[in-house]
Structure 1
Amino acid sequence: MHELPVTRFRAGAVYSAGSADVESFAVGGGRIIATGTHAELADRFPGASCVDLGDRLVVPGFNDAHAHFADAAQGRLELDVAPAHAPDAPALLRRLAGATPRSSGWVIAAGYDDSLSGAINREALDAALPDRPVLVRHVSAHWAVLNSAALRELGIDETVVDGGGGSYGRDGAGRLDGRIYERALLSRYVSRSGAGPAPIPAPRPAEVVDAYRAALAEWNAYGITSSCDAFVGGQQLGVHTAAHRAGQRSLRVGMLLAAECYDDYAALGLGTGMGDEWLRIAGVKAFVDGAIGGRTCFVSEPFCGTHDHGLRITSPEELHALVRRVHGDGNRLGIHANGDAAIRMLLDAYEAAQRDDPRPTRHRIEHCSIVDDDIIRRIAALDLIVTPFARYASFYGGRLERWYGKDRTERMFAHRALLDAGVTVAASTDHPASPVSPFAAMQSLVTRTGDDGSLVGAVQRITPAEALAVYTAGSAAATGEERRKGRLLPGMLADFAVLDADPRAVDPFAISEIAAVRTYVDGELVFSRE
């Protein structure tokens, strides 16, 4: 029988979540086939080549369990108006005015943060670019600002009304001010079967392949080897499929399919677990409410200084019907719920579905941002998997307390409380809603200190070892792949990163400065700084 070639890897330490460090492991056929001491593996595999990684730490490849890779790749074709490029509204408008339109004639910009760059509206966009459609998407991706030409292109006029989980901003005179929120925006990107094409222009999947390749290189440079794309409609599926056919093999992608397209997917027989080890279906995505940074999440108490309780995107009746159907089909659900009122509503639906049709499927709560003891108890009882924001404490810093108050901030992204309750917690940057670096995200989890120096819910700090486990084993469980990835143990995929420092040993405030020296996927080197 032909034996697969074996390569031994020797390092200062090899971390595997939940297991003791070892110093050596062997790889064959893209899998870990043995771990142990260097002497043990040298005796067992005498003819194997050996890669000496020095005294560095090897960890399982990082896994961002809730990000938006296809959108991030397509975003490379859009104008970046993040505060680093547009620190205030005048700078943002100048950047827009100098932009080259897409072939469609539109100017589409992303990364806008009104809390740092300041407010813009339809009138300001009209002055900057009066003759071309302009869409400026908020960093949360849950709302945008459009100019008059874009509103006309989308068929939105002064007669439009709020409803169906979406809304339109208006000025003091009741005139549309260009802001478009939640499902009113989402519906322009994703259309249900038979509803016709989404009118906001998107590049053809083949046009995104080069940007996809560049995004892969960036993520591999951070030691990321897996991710779950947390919203995959027809456009995103086309992008991933085109890249898959082009042989992109350095990031394993799980996909949460957009619930708006569920009829189409179900008719094709697509469901959880289908695909291969590079591109597979992880479940179905839906929304209960809006965003934390966009201040549109559905909360029981209003945002500080307002009477605003946020937006409920889906009605209880719609939510229960969707959960019953997808759960009954045996598919996993990953449902977006940020605010405490939204999470309770989702838990009601999950509990009812499980009570009426008991199944072993482990569903997810995406973000699960504002919790309390009762919410955590209910999550644990259902054995749900949660993906709280890993980076938001540092990314938003003191703005969170300004928007939500100290009490709620202590209960936001509650990694400590959730882990203590035995809940499976996965890592999420929600990139491009926050930076993708796992090192900056782990520092945020460990220090709960904002980039602005603010302490953000210090009671929710976790240890560096726990942060590593969240970013590896926890994320693997979120896509149902805990038996194939997330740990460097025999039988697991040989996806790993070689770090220049150990997050468990450095100053917690230096974790973000750690770098991946090498990244391996399927046992093959896909990135090296050397």
Structure 2
Amino acid sequence: MSLLLRQVELEEAVVDVRIEGDRIVEIGAGLCGSSRVVEARGGTLLPGLHDHHLHLFAMAAAMASIDCSESLDALATAPVNEGWVRGFGTASTPDRHDLDAVRSDVPVRVQHRSGALWMLNSRALAEVSSWLDGTADVERDKHGEPTGRLFRYDARLRAALPSTLPDLGGVVARLHRYGITGVTDATPDLSPAAVEALTALSGIRVTLLGGLTGPRKLLLRDHDLPTYDDLVQVIGGTHAAGRPVAVHCVTPESLLLTLAALREVGSVPGDRIEHAAVVPIGIAEALAALGLAVVTQPSFLRLRGDEYLRDLDREDIARLYPYRSLLDAGVRVAASSDAPYGDADPWRTMADAAARRTRRGRVLGPRERVNPVEVLTGYLSPPDDPGGAARRVEVGALADLCLLKAPLRSGEPQVRAVVVGGEAFEQP
């Protein structure tokens, strides 16, 4: 099958782009001879955007769940799905008794908006009791009974739940509306069934951090960090197996521990830091010296900034989700969403990186502001090199493309179509 994108704006010229199979084969004026034509009408053509850190199954689950960001009361009348009620997005941390007061007739689980904590009512605890262990991840009251709060318990909790994987068609369609043609799923320790489903997903290219190949996600639990020796051993073993690491670092402590371990074992191409939510002064240069990429989430400044101002130390707030200082130090940086915990819209994320404003209008770290075009460059960087040189629309390139309805410079971008592997998906 051949595809013709007619009259696209490409590098300030209006041209046609012809695609055969999954490759761009010709760029020029007045092209013809394709079996399908998409009229661009002067809209800018870009490489397809790549979100370098999100969670596809969690996005699908969130789309089918109850939004508790405003209140838990919505759980009271929520529909039951496979015997459970699932909520997400709350900033509060109710225990099982709090949830029982809202809904006690069926098992209820609610995910904290950070993604780091699950909260279960009593019926839900009874369902998964055989899967609870005695680690610090299961909070217990003074009598030794579980409170219903499970920290970083995703993999073990998942094993106790109904096993049907959610359909991802709606998630892919949503990502297409944003111009996204590829993603890096950052969920650690995926099951074989999940890996199979993600690698077979059509309409979008998927890189995994939780599979058996490619970068390996290391989730450092901030309330229970590994020892230095243990982390050195894990990173060294991962490198010896031919894989880079992608290390979850939210606190300064986890970041400093990771850098110390990487200095010990040495970094390899593809090593990356996920989040780097707080970067102490002088550490940007250390990240650059090790050749590490940073995958950051500017949308959290808008979504959670007012709470950061309330809860964090002033020193941490000054170094929160840095961007400009990392670029200036020579660190490769790519923005991402961490959806569903952050905003999946890359264009909104670009605006957030430039404004750095909370919902209430407070500015966090104005010196860390970056131009939206610089953030876009990160979205155009290759999946295996976040923050690297942007992919280009050129003959021979893979036909993963984002076509806008108007020139990029004209204002807020709207997507006319995406092309994935030569197949066009036109948007309403």
TM-score by length of 1: 0.73
Q: Cα–Cα, structure 1 residues 328 and 243, in superposed 2: closer, same or farther, change >3 Å?
A: closer
Cα 1:169–1:225 change in 2 (3 A) is farther
Q: Which residue of 2 aligns with 1:303?
A: none
1:515 aligns to 2:414 (yes or no): yes
1-structure distance, mates of 2:195, 2:400: 20
Please state whether the residue corresponding to 1:373 is helix, strand or coil: coil
> What's the offset of the Cα at 1:227?
0.3
Which secondary structure does the structure 2 equivalent of 1:431 belong to? Answer: coil
User: Deviation at 1:445?
Assistant: 1.0
1:71 Cα deviation from its structure 2 partner: 2.2
Report the CA distance shift for 1:445/1:331 in structure 2 as closer, same or farther (over 3 A): same
SS of 2:186's equivalent in the other structure is strand
1:99 matched residue in structure 2: 78
Further displaced range: 122-131 or 339-348? 122-131
* Alpha-carbon offset, residue 31 of structure 1: 1.8
Give the CA deviation at 1:33: 3.4
Structure 2 matches for 1:351-500, cutoff 5 A?
351-354=263-266, 360-473=268-381, 477-478=385-386, 486-500=391-405
Partner SS for 1:27: strand
Q: CA deviation at 1:156?
A: 7.5
C-alpha separation between the residues in 2 aligned to 1:345 and 1:56?
Answer: 47
Percent identical among aligned pairs is: 26
* Structure 2 counterpart of 1:267: none
Change (3 A) 1:390 1:491: farther
What is residue 156 of structure 2 aligned with on the other side?
188
**1:204 aligned partner:** 164
CA contact (8 A) 2:322 2:368 kept: yes
- TM-superposition CA deviations, 1:341-360 (whole Å, max 9, x none): 11010111112111xxxx74
The verdict on how the C-alpha distance between 1:501 and 1:10 changes in structure 2, with shifts beyond 3 A counting, is closer
Deviations 1:238-264 (A, max 9, x none): 24524655xx42110000126xxxxxx
Task: Quickly say closer, same or farther: Cα 1:74–1:6, change in 2 above 3 A.
Answer: closer
Partners of 2:394 and 2:358 in 1: CA distance: 35
Per chain length, whose mean CA-contact separation is higher, i.e. which structure has more relative contact order (CA < 8 Å, sep 6+)? 2
Superposition pairs for residues 224-303 of structure 1, below 5 Å?
Answer: 224-235=180-191, 237-239=192-194, 241-242=196-197, 245=200, 248-257=201-210, 270-272=212-214, 283-289=215-221, 298=222
Query: Which consecutive unaligned segments of at least 5 residues does structure 1 have?
Result: 15-19, 191-197, 259-269, 273-282, 290-297, 299-310
| 1:168 paired to 2:100 | no
| Contact 1:63–1:427 (Cα < 8 Å) also in 2 | no
Q: For 1:392, give the aligned amino acid.
A: F
Which amino acid in the other structure matches residue 403 of structure 1? Answer: D
Q: 1:212 to 1:32 in 2, by over 3 A?
A: same
Structure 1 residue 66: Cα displacement = 0.3
SS in 1 for 2:248: strand
In structure 2, the residue corresponding to 1:253 is in which secondary structure?
Answer: strand
Cα distance between partner residues in 1 of 2:298 and 2:292: 18
- 1:139 Cα deviation after fit: 1.4
For residue 377 of structure 2, give the secondary structure of its aligned residue in structure 1.
helix
Q: Is the 8 A contact 2:14 2:42 kept in 1?
A: no
CA gap 1:101/1:6 in 2 versus in 1, 3 angstroms: closer
Contact 1:398 1:455 in 2 (8 A): no
Residue aligning to 1:347: 259
Q: 2:91 aligns with which of 82, 88, 113?
A: 113
Q: Distance in 2 between matches of 1:344 and 1:489?
A: 41
Change (3 A) 1:152 1:473: same
Q: Give the gaps of 5 or more residues in structure 2.
A: none
Give the direction of change, closer, same or farther, for the CA distance of 1:175–1:362 in structure 2 (3 Å limit).
Answer: same
Shift of the 153–27 alpha-carbon distance from structure 1 to 2, 3 Å rule, reads same
Deviation at 1:232, TM superposition (A): 4.6
Give the distance between the partners of 1:203 and 1:161, measured in 2 at CA: 24
Amino acid at match of 2:217: K
| CA root-mean-square deviation | 2.9
| Cα offsets for 1:165-190 (capped at 9, x unmatched) | x351648x8865322223xx235236
Number of aligned residue pairs: give it.
Answer: 426
- After TM superposition, the score normalised by the length of structure 2 is 0.89
Is the counterpart of residue 81 in structure 1 residue 59 in structure 2? no
